[in-house]
Amino acid sequence: MIDIKEGRIESLLKNAVERAKFNNEPQIISITKQINNIDPLHVFESARKFSTNRTFWTSTADDYWLVGAGSVHRITASSDRFDKTEEKWQEILGKAIIHNPFDVPGTGLLAMGGMSFDPKGSKSALWKNFDESSFIIPEFLLTVHNSSSYFTVTVKVHPADEPEKLADSLREKEAVLLSSPDYFPQEVDIQSTEEIAPDEWKQVVQRATEEIRHSTTDKIVLARELRLKLSANVEITAVLNNLISSQPNSFVFAFEREGDCFVGATPERLVKLEQDRLLSTCLAGTAPRGETKAEDDQIAETLLHDEKNRSEHDFVVKMIRQAMEKYCSDVNIPDKPVIYPLRNLQHLYTPVSATLNKDFSIFDIVKELHPTPALGGVPRDTSLEFIRKYENVDRGWYGAPIGWLDSSRNGEFAVGIRSGLIRGNEVSLFAGCGVVKDSNPEAEYEETKIKFKPMMSVLGG
């Protein structure tokens, strides 16, 4: 990684062009500056004027926002996804010119993206624009951290590029991004819904309970799909705006690939890394919210003492502990969970913190944690084998790691749940539940209906 001193953008680009000529290959340069505060949603909406590869990420509880526009470079991998993505990322960092005077997570050179739930799982044309692993280095990046805003321009220069012309082009795009959009998107209405093979799904749940009773498998997580048709093409910015206002304590995200967009509001952090300090969270065990505070408190108390949900939660805590102890020191886990309230649902919640050892990266932790027992099952291998054989749903990026990482050893990944894939005026929503030996297919079906609600509510349902 090469840091350079402050200077005008032309001189910074000239430096990069000279390096590209010397090495006879394209050169990535990243330049970060602080700017006046601006609405991240406005930047995301303005970016549609020149890009079909936009990215949005926010943790509203932390006042943290990322908006990516365009694509300078895409890191993809189909096999050994975690190791190869990390290897390619480190190769890029080793050659990049990074001008970033700010010690702020998510500034400087950054990659945003995700992976499919299972590269060996059922496949369809639904997710054709989403690779098994795909991380984009955006051309333009807005970072909002503790109410301060930063703007990063990343460009891949070539030996024949002219710095002045390149700088003018970047300024023109920056002006578009940082100005208010011509209009703010309007909401649409749901015209029709289609449950994909609900009866067959219940039969698979029943088969899973029998499998668990007669084998060493403890739990199998099964997902299903609900398809919506809308009155017009879905406006992603409007969906994000609704999710931000209606789903506090969540990670609101959008990953756009050639116009198709995976969007949602997940409450489940997989892992957060700041320098060497690591935070993971166990969020397993689900119940609805009550109509009154008394009812809500009663449901929460029941959830805290429910044998099935506590067992499901303990599976995840145990797995996270094992993963952390393999790569970290100073692992700290509370003795019992607390309630994590969302608008439509409440969950059992346990935070896990640790110090990541120097020889490892965030991808080592993501690889170890995915899929968690809350999304795959226990044991992992046998539950995944059952899912591949019987689930018959192309999960794509649903339930998979999504997030970002920067050039200063910071990053954050969440689990892509409470989500949907938007394609024009059609949306595929996904929801799952953990099946154990005493699970009732009808009850599990009703649980998935509850989990569809956050996305349904922001799409006009």
- Is 301 annotated to bind ligand? no
The predicted pLDDT at position 420 comes to 97
- Is 195 annotated to bind ligand? no
Eight-state DSSP code of residue 373 = T
3-state secondary structure at position 32: strand
**β-bridge partners, 433:** 222
Contact partners, residue 389, CB within 8 Å, separation at least 6 = none
Residues 159, 163, 165, 171, CA torsion sign: positive
Q: Active-site residues: which are they?
A: 219, 268
* Cβ-defined contacts of 332-337 (< 8 Å, 24+): 337/282, 337/285, 337/304, 337/310, 337/313
Contact partners, residue 282, CB within 8 Å, separation at least 6 = 313, 316, 317, 320, 337, 348, 349, 350, 351, 352, 372, 374
What size, in residues, is the chain? 461
- The pLDDT tens digits along the chain (461 residues) read 444 444 479 999 999 999 999 999 999 999 999 999 999 999 999 999 989 999 999 997 888 999 999 999 999 998 899 999 999 999 999 999 999 999 999 999 999 999 999 999 989 999 999 999 999 999 999 999 999 999 999 999 999 999 999 999 999 999 999 988 777 777 788 999 999 999 999 999 999 999 999 999 999 999 999 999 999 999 999 999 999 999 888 999 999 999 999 999 998 899 999 989 999 988 888 889 999 999 999 999 999 999 888 887 887 888 888 889 999 999 999 999 999 988 778 999 999 999 999 999 999 999 999 998 889 998 999 999 999 999 989 999 999 999 999 999 999 999 999 999 999 999 999 999 999 999 999 999 999 999 999 899 999 76
End-to-end CA distance of the chain: 49
Contact partners, residue 229, CB within 8 Å, separation at least 6 = 190, 191, 192, 193, 194, 425, 426
Helices then strands, counting H and E runs in the chain, come out as 11, 24
For the entire predicted model, the pTM comes to 0.92
Contact partners, residue 45, CB within 8 Å, separation at least 6 = 181, 184, 185, 237
Cβ(454)–Cβ(247) under 8 Å?
yes
Eight-state DSSP code of residue 290 = P
Q: Which domains does the chain have, with CATH numbers?
A: 2-177 (no CATH), 190-458 (3.60.120.10)
